[in-house]
């Protein structure tokens, strides 16, 4: 039996955080003496989108001097690699072959994830995924390969956004004049006060809404909605973007009669299973949020609406992102493994030495380090977290 397997030693929770070390082993089992050039391990982070779109083609007829256009349905895709690291565990690209004897051979490795990478995501129109792939390069023969996917749970740190501006209270005002058969029936005024523009799962926010109904019509109800919009792109710039809209919160209160006035205090508390994806470094995905306060009007009248755009995250302004990750990322883990239906290969953790035939294996003692002699090839790795987000002063 001949095979190549990638195993993880520290994947006990079923996910990694940005900045964590990935510790594992590449296990090669060969039944006979085998010649190889090298064993390469690749760590990749990719985003991918796809959906069925329409492509229009035009056919020219020189003799009839006419043009015929027709459309067909094609698969539209988008791909972006935001992280790529290659490590040579044994051998190299320039020298000759290496002969490994029959048996099992273990090659340990250690990799460190950058801090500012997006979290694992799997949605209707695409995904953000992470993969480890091992290749045993054999001369004049088929290579041995193995790969596995794993989950990265990335918190959204609002300190990296617009700073203290998000903690400032904000007020919004809007008014509307009602008409019937070109005759004015009075006007409605709405004032909305938002205590802060940031919102985390730990917050209990009270939104104040003051409405003056100086018209002859009743206001049927007052509603507050919080929506999440995920915008997806493909490589074809002419293809319209796809949008996934999720309603996160809906609060409804009673209305106001003609020539009435009322001040509402609307509670805002994010649900426990809220999914706040992190799309940092992504080019194909973008997430935005919006509050909307609506005064519903009867009949043909258009509702009075005030829209606001908060920032949602896990770490609020002024809170420290603890590098030991003692903050529980429940929503991050749920978004990666439950809500979006994606799970890493948990069967690959941990790799137990006792499961190997102890009478017939070779343990390679020299682990991969970060020196030049380890032949680490890094292509377009993102900058470290500390160079992007300044430290927070107490």
pLDDT along the chain (394 residues), means of 10: 89 91 95 93 97 81 65 93 95 84 94 94 96 94 93 90 81 87 81 93 93 91 96 94 95 93 94 90 96 90 92 85 46 43 52 36 39 35 41 42
pLDDT at 206: 94
- Dist CA 266 CA 306 (whole Å): 14
What does the pLDDT read at residue 377?
34
Q: What is the pLDDT of residue 361?
A: 40
Q: What is the pLDDT of residue 204?
A: 92
DSSP string for 296-356? E-STTPPPEEEEE--EE-SB-TT----TT--S--HHHHHIIIIIT-----GGG-PPPGGGS
Q: Do domains 3-54+69-155+325-388 and 158-312 have the same CATH topology?
A: yes
What is the model's pTM?
0.79
Preceding omega of 78 cis (within 30 degrees of 0): no
Return the sign of the alpha-carbon dihedral for residues 30, 149, 118, 196: negative
Was domain 158-312 assigned CATH 2.60.40.640? Answer: yes
Say if residues 89 and 39 touch (Cβ distance below 8 Å). Answer: yes
Q: State the pLDDT at residue 28.
A: 94
CB 223 within 8 A of CB 252: yes
| Domain positions in the chain | 3-54+69-155+325-388, 158-312
Predicted confidence at residue 1, as pLDDT, reads 60
Looking at residue 264, what is its pLDDT?
Answer: 96
Instruction: Output phi, psi for 32, to 5 deg.
Output: -135, 170
Surface-to-core class of residue 147, CB atoms within 10 Å of its CB (0-12 exposed, 13-18 middle, 19+ buried): middle
Give the pLDDT score at 94: 77
Q: Which fold has domain 3-54+69-155+325-388?
A: Immunoglobulin-like (2.60.40)
What pLDDT is stored for residue 364 in this prediction?
Answer: 47
> What's the half-sphere exposure (Cβ side, CA atoms, 13 Å) at 158?
22
Distance CA(14)–CA(337), nearest Å, equals 9
How far is residue 242 from each of residues 33, 233, 274, 311, 335, measured CA to CA in Å? 53, 7, 21, 21, 20
């Amino acid at each position: 039996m001949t095979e190549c397997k990638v195993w993880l030693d520290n994947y006990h929770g079923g996910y990694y955080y940005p900045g964590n070390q990935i510790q594992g082993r590449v296990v090669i089992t060969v039944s006979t003496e085998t010649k190889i050039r090298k064993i390469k391990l690749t760590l990749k982070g990719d985003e991918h989108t796809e959906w069925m779109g329409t492509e229009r083609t035009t056919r020219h007829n020189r003799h009839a001097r006419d043009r015929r256009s027709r459309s067909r349905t094609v698969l539209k895709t988008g791909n972006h690699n935001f992280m790529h690291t290659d490590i040579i565990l044994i051998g190299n690209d320039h020298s000759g072959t290496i002969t490994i004897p029959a048996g099992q051979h273990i090659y340990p490795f250690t990799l460190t994830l950058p801090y500012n990478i997006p979290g694992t995501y799997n949605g209707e129109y695409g995904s953000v995924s992470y993969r480890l792939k091992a290749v045993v390069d054999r001369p004049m023969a088929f290579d041995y390969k193995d790969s596995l996917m794993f989950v990265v749970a990335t918190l959204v740190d609002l300190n990296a956004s617009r700073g203290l501006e998000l903690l400032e209270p904000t007020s919004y005002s809007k008014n509307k004049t009602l008409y019937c058969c070109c005759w004015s029936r009075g006007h409605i005024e709405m004032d909305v006060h938002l205590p802060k523009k940031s919102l985390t799962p730990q917050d209990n926010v009270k939104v104040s809404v003051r409405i003056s109904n100086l018209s002859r019509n009743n206001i049927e109800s007052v509603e507050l909605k919080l929506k999440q919009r995920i915008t997806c792109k493909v490589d074809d710039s002419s293809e319209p973007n796809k949008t996934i809209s999720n309603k996160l919160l809906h609060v409804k209160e009673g209305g106001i009669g003609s020539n009435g006035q009322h001040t509402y205090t609307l509670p805002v508390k994010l649900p426990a299973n809220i999914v706040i994806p992190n799309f940092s470094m992504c080019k194909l995905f973008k997430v935005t949020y919006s509050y909307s306060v609506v005064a519903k009007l009867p009949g043909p009248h258009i509702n009075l609406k005030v829209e606001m755009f908060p920032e949602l995250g896990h770490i609020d302004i002024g809170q420290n992102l603890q590098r030991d990750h003692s903050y529980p990322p429940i929503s991050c883990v749920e978004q990666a493994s439950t809500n979006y239906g994606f799970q890493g290969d948990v069967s690959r953790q941990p790799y137990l030495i006792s499961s190997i035939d102890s009478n017939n294996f070779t343990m390679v003692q020299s682990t991969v380090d970060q020196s030049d002699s380890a032949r680490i090839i890094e292509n377009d790795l993102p900058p470290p977290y500390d160079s992007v987000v300044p430290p927070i002063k107490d």
